[in-house]
Structure 1
Amino acid sequence: MTDPKEGIRQGPVQPTWLMDADYTVIGKNAQAEKFETDYVISMEYAVQVAKGTCCAFHTDKRACKNCPLENKWAASDGFPITFMGRDGVPYEFFGKLLKKRQNWLLEIRYIDKPFESEGKSMLTYLNEVRESEQKRIARELHDGIAQSIYSLMLETRGLKWTPVEEHQQKLQAIDRHFADVLLEIKSMATELRPSILDDVGLIPAINQFVDQTLEMTGFIIRVIVDGERHDLSGRGNVVIYRSIQEAVSNALKYSGENEATIRLAFAQTELRVTIADEGKGFIYDPYHLGFGLLNLRERAHSVGGDLEIDTGMDKGTRITIILPYEEESA
């Protein structure tokens, strides 16, 4: 019988694990054994990253295509991955998953520097997102609203050459065009800051978002409110609303289900908002949060709140944002 370790004896000196067809480890070299004493390693996570179903920054490989950090890995012939050191510091590595007959070889290559601090990476991400959003708004203003206004200007000027008997029909068309432009402007304004949050409050705004999501995507969201309602600050309302938008968007894209639940539980001192689905779930590692989850956590922390995540492969996902009524600076 062939020794499982034989498949890795001729390999490179970096940590290497030999796995069977089901990705169960059946052998490892001395470097891999030492690696496991120095770092907290999840083989399931490593395989998922290697297969492209998640990465060091995203929960879906499709999201990597336009990743603002993609150039950072352009020179690599492997995939980026991070592991938490026993010293509590996350470190960067490159990895490869290679087919060897009926088995797999997972190789990890060292990088001689710690992983960039989460704050710096998050700041880079947020700056890129902000710039991307500004470009999107500029493009919509130019290609949408600006073009519509220019068209209206031409239609209005053209009235002087239109026979008088056709003026009424032309004016009705211009009026409809103005109504469309106004609706487009209101839609953009709502994206930037939902006025309904200020006008009637958090829960009506959530209900409106739920109705719009159903109308646009067919995705069903149930809203459950428990306890006696308590007012949040304006910042708190925005944090909850935007967090729900992001969590629902992730559920819609990745859960594989067509429904989710939003539960708002008003307790004596805090509000707990849970967005739950019964979909695919994902491998949750608190030391390797994707930027979407980091963004949710930063939102909660900005008003003295917290984030809880309960998920697993094929176990669905439950994201809970906890916000105190007495807002704290963070």
Structure 2
Amino acid sequence: MTEGAKRTTRSPAQALFRRLFMINGLVFAVATLVLAISPATVSAPLVLAEVPVLIVGLALMLAANALLLRRSLAPLDALTTLMQRVDLLRTGDRLPIGGNSDLTHVIATFNAMLDRLEAERSASSGHALAAQEGERRRIARELHDEIGQSLTVVLLGLKRVVDRAPDDLREDLHGVQETVRASLDEVRQVARRLRPGVLEDLGLHAALAALCSDVSQMSGVQVARAVQHDLPELGADVELVLYRIAQESLTNIARHARATRAELSLGTRDGRLTLRVTDDGQGGARQDGAGIRGMRERALLIGARLAVDSPPGEGTRVHLTIPNDRSPTR
């Protein structure tokens, strides 16, 4: 940029000052012209009959000045409102650029700042969630390979002891054996929730079916499942996000909703992939908890939009929509 261009480029504050100065100057110029061509005069000293003329003229100038300034500064109200409701987990909230040309640069700069913040938040969330998934896999592997194997060895040892134990101790040893077997099953369930091996081995359909079955068995909530068979090709990151959001939604239903029935559906609607999880519970969730905010962060990773509707007494509806231009990555 040349020195001449630097001198002619005005900052937003300078542009706004120039506009306000021009508006006030225009009002005063018009008022002066009206006084010059009108028969109204002001005597020295001031005559009492001329006071109403001055008051009316002043009122007209103030009204005209207020109207022009209000129209000029109106975008600032919308900008302030947007600043108050901004949430980086709810993307796409922007102020349309138009109207006052001097504030266009301010609005465009604020929109660009939101774009940068959302991109940075998405990138940082991606790194954090990737690290979290890695830690989940490590813990699940240790649970399965170490604790699971240790409990299996204990079960085998107990079986040999039971076979050689006297009759009066055999019943007690059977109780211990069942307790260890139940603990082994719980360890395997925890490992499966931490690392959905079925998702990697058998795919999304089988993983969702196993998830719904597990939730039904553990909580008693009947989970109906409707998954489209001919889903479009999905990337591994999209499948993982879909699984985790479905898992968190069903877990919330089992823990907090007091529901008797839930429904999970996945399919394409209007050309977009849509995941819906609903229940017939108490609803009434007013604020996003850690679970819902975690789901929003996962949705940002694949450019999806998550909506959670929870009217009191009408259950909760989780709706995830993946855009059409989401390309699969493997």
The TM-score with structure 1 as length reference comes to 0.47
Instruction: From the CA coordinates, give the structure whose radius of gyration is larger.
Output: 2
Higher helix content, 1 or 2: 2
Higher strand content, 1 or 2: 1
